[in-house]
Amino acid sequence: MTELRFFALAILGVFCMDAGQTPARAADEAPNAAAQPSRLEEPHIARQAWSFTGPFGTFDNAQLQRGYQVYKEVCSNCHSMRLLSYRNLGERSGPGFSPEAVDALAAQAEVTDGPNDNGEMYQRPARASDRFRSPFPNPEAARAANKGALPPDLSVMAKARPGGPDYIYALLTGYREPPPGFQLAPGMHYNAAFPGHQIAMPPPLSDGAVTYADGTKPTLDNYAKDVAAYLMWAAEPRLEERHQMGARVIAFLIVFAVIMLLAKRAVWARFHRRPAGAA
């Protein structure tokens, strides 16, 4: 039965690789941090429970819709998401807004189009096929409005930082009073999750800042969770497909392994037969 054990181990291995795909920061897994004084400075990023982790994880439509609302009402005042179009909001393995809702959400933004017959650019309500409207026309304008700091584009932010959605959640809920003796530069804010602890982004969220329509409690914690999940979908919209494909591959491997095992037994059977006449 060694073959069986081998196949079982191989399959287990593939599952484990998938389950560990949103690695938290190394500091999270360092219980011996005390033994390495330099690592004490590394922000601690706690892991959260997400609907989309694990080999069968899927996005929660309602959560992504709330996350988009938080992005739209708060974050989009400073951060662009240039890689997304309004029609993406209708994806079934995403926020899953209806086509009418997508049109309505797009129409809330004004975009520049043109030139018209007179050679002039003009403003019009956005359509589903338009990219998300950016808050600033260029990076210089974005810096000028943010005391010199550039709010980064959030399209793939959840993939760009170690810890992904766990980090974004920790960042949004990580604003604190600086500890005594901490030298905070003027205009900066103390944040427990940000490397170096000084961030130019003022605390964007607080309890009650956004009104949810589905009865979810309007707390900082929920906003941070929902917007982090939404940013994860934006950065990896094919996650559900990838998980489904993974499950199909595993199912195929299991069936294939059984067939190969039976085939091997059939082929070897005659060598295992007792020689005629033996006792």
Binding ligand HEC (rule: CB under 6 A), the pick from 67, 95, 151, 163 is: 151
Kindly tell me which residue out of 36, 77, 108, 112 binds ligand HEC, with binding defined by CB under 6 A: 77
Considering the complex, state which of residue 141 and residue 262 has its C-beta at the smaller distance from ligand HEC: 141
Binding ligand HEC by CB under 6 A: which of 24, 45, 78, 239? 78
Considering the rule CB under 6 A, would residue 43 count as an interface residue with ligand HEC?
no
Q: Which stretch binds ligand HEC (CB under 6 A): 12-20, 101-109, 200-208, 247-255?
A: 200-208
* 152 belongs to the binding site for ligand HEC (CB under 6 A): yes
Q: Which of 33, 111, 128, 149 binds ligand HEC (CB under 6 A)?
A: 149
Q: Which residues contact 162 (CB under 8 A, 6 or more apart)?
A: 23, 24, 25, 26, 45
- Cβ neighbours of residue 22 closer than 8 Å, sequence gap 6 or more: 50, 53, 163, 164, 165, 166
Query: Which C-beta is closer to ligand HEC: that of 60 or that of 243?
Result: 60
C-beta closer to ligand HEC: residue 19 or 160 = 160
Work out which of 146, 216, 219, 244 binds ligand HEC, going by CB under 6 A.
Answer: 146
The footprint of ligand HEC on residues 216-245 (CB under 6 A) is: 227
Q: Name residue, tokens 């951060």.
A: 79
- Comparing CB distances to ligand HEC, the nearer of 219 and 244 is 219
Minimum CB distance to ligand HEC, residue 225 (Å)? 11
Q: Would you state the structure tokens that stand for residue 17, as one six-digit string? A: 């690789």
When the beta carbons of 77 and 98 are compared against ligand HEC, the nearer one is 77
Q: Which residues bind ligand HEC (CB under 6 A)?
A: 70, 74-75, 77-79, 146, 149, 151-152, 157, 161, 168, 171-172, 199-202, 204-205, 227
